[in-house]
Amino acid sequence: MDNGALKAALDTLDKDRAAARERLFELLRIPSISTDPAFAQNCRDAAAWLVADLRGLGFAAEAHATQGHPIVLATDHDSDGPHVLFYGHYDVQPVDPIELWETDPFQPTLIEREDGTSFVRARGSSDDKGQVMTFLEACRAWKAASGRLPCKVTVLIEGEEESGGASLPPFLEEHASLLGSAEVALVCDTGMWDRHTPAITTMLRGNVTEEVTVHGADRDLHSGFYGGAAANPITILARALARLHDAQGRVQIPGFYDGVPDMPQSVLSQWASLGFQAESFLGEIGLREPAGEKAHSCLEQTWSRPTAEVNGIWGGYTGAGFKTVIPAEAHAKISFRLVGDQDPAQIRDSFRSFMAEHIPPDCRITFKSHGAGGAISMPFDAPIYQKAQQALTEEWSKEAAFIGCGGSIPVVGQFKKMLGLDSLLIGFGLEDDRLHSPNEKYDVASSEKGARAWARILEALAR
């Protein structure tokens, strides 16, 4: 592959910017919220839009029906280069609280900043449609400029990443011979270190999600007539949840820290060299004090330490006015982020026993699982990581950083376990993209330089 071909692809991307933006806007207008059944047709529409776009690029593409939302699978293997598997997701998070959006979440809006930069505001702009389109635009430019791609490319875009992703593992199994023949997975669902510094994410936390219900009396009760004598499920639940952490921020579930590694000094020093500022990380969201384990830095708290978080809690009367009631039930949703070799099944079991021990004998507690997956780290000294780092460094004229990530991308563990595939986690999101929040946005520079970066990475991997 000569560098003239890469230059032609990069020039094509630069010339095609306006049309690329219009394509992204079309995809962003489809409200593909996977968790809410009311949007199932929109999910099918987003999958169909991607299939049409991929076919237009010359891929053989199909939307495969599943128990849940369709999975888009496409191939273009008309290349002598290595086989790479690209992964992204077309589904998005719900938009509530809708009243906090400054513009309609599904009417993408281009907003110019005073410094001349700009961004697109829309649900899914950063997570993950804007990121998916960076890769498709890079492929489009290669095809337009040279007639073919530098690598054999398989594209897998799912629609349930934000809602449990139950359909994906059986799909991976069914298509294991195609998908597993790739040399590496390119996963575009993470961020840059900052707006000037591209990054390769080398670690993802795992997760365990649990819904618990504490059952007390066999009906809702008058809190005067029974109050004092009858067990209150909300109080019982709140007390148990409050015991999840001690005053040092350590999780109190027995065995919770089994398999949590001490970070090697070399990694801690590399992280220190990134110049992370807890004050600005927390200041940006209106906070000041790192709230996790006191023995670990703020960066470690989000990248390399496990957590227990209550994501929702409800019960009793929460409507207008007041109702003096002792409810029959109280509920909470709790998630754990896992690191190292922490075992999701063991964490789930120990959590359930821990909670059960805090329930009085005449009450009951029941659990519902919402999925789980282990943590994963990438072998980032392998040549493929160095090639990708070099390509990113060339695009930004700034050395690409190797970073951790507090979030979870379940497919990365499944690729490893089911297909033996390592992943290159490269994305162009920024810290202020407001993932999962109102007014999600994606910088135009993320879209444009992201596409140029993929064009370079495809060429670098083919070398």
Between residues 216 and 410, which has the closer beta carbon with respect to ligand BES? 410
Which residues inside 73-132 make contact with ligand BES, applying CB under 6 A?
A: 127-128
Site string for ligand BES, 170-199 (x = CB under 6 A): -------------------xxx--------
Q: Which of 137, 158, 189, 448 binds Zn ion (CB under 5 A)?
A: 189
Indicate which single residue of 58, 255, 316, 407 sits in contact with ligand BES (rule: CB under 6 A).
407
The site that binds ligand BES (CB under 6 A) totals a number of residues, namely: 14
Per CB under 6 A, 32 contacts ligand BES: no
Binding window for Zn ion (CB under 5 A); candidates: 20-28, 53-61, 120-128, 397-405: 120-128
**What is the β-pairing status of strands 199-201 and 423-426?**
antiparallel
Q: Considering the complex, what minimum distance in angstroms separates the CB of residue 306 from ligand BES?
A: 14
* Binding partner selected for residue 190 from Zn ion, ligand BES, none, CB under the kind-specific 5 to 8 Å limit: ligand BES
Q: Tell the smallest beta-carbon distance from residue 251 to ligand BES (Å).
A: 18
Is residue 405 close enough to count as binding ligand BES by CB under 6 A?
yes
161 binds ligand BES (CB under 6 A): yes
Residue 244 one-letter amino acid = L
By CB under 5 A, is residue 433 in contact with Zn ion? no
Q: What does the alpha-carbon distance between residue 54 and residue 38 come to, in Å, rounded to a whole number?
A: 26
User: Which listed residue (128, 210, 395, 443) binds Zn ion by CB under 5 A?
Assistant: 128
Per rule CB under 6 A, is residue 408 in the interface with ligand BES? yes
List, in order, residues 6 or more apart from 395 with CB less than 8 Å away. Answer: 198, 449, 452, 453, 456
User: What type of residue is 289?
Assistant: E
Place of tokens 């202020």: 432
H or E segment at 385?
helix 383-396
Q: Per CB under 6 A, does 207 bind ligand BES?
A: yes
| Rounded CA separation 375/343 (Å) | 9
Least Å distance, CB 143 to Zn ion, is 26
Distance CA 59, CA 148 (A): 11
Is residue 127 part of the contact set for Zn ion (CB under 5 A)?
yes
Q: Residue 409 interacts with ligand BES (CB under 6 A)? A: yes
Q: Does 433 bind ligand BES (CB under 6 A)?
A: no
Residues lying near ligand BES in the complex (CB under 6 A) are found at 127-128, 161-162, 189-191, 207, 405, 407-410, 435
Residues lying near Zn ion in the complex (CB under 5 A) are found at 127-128, 189
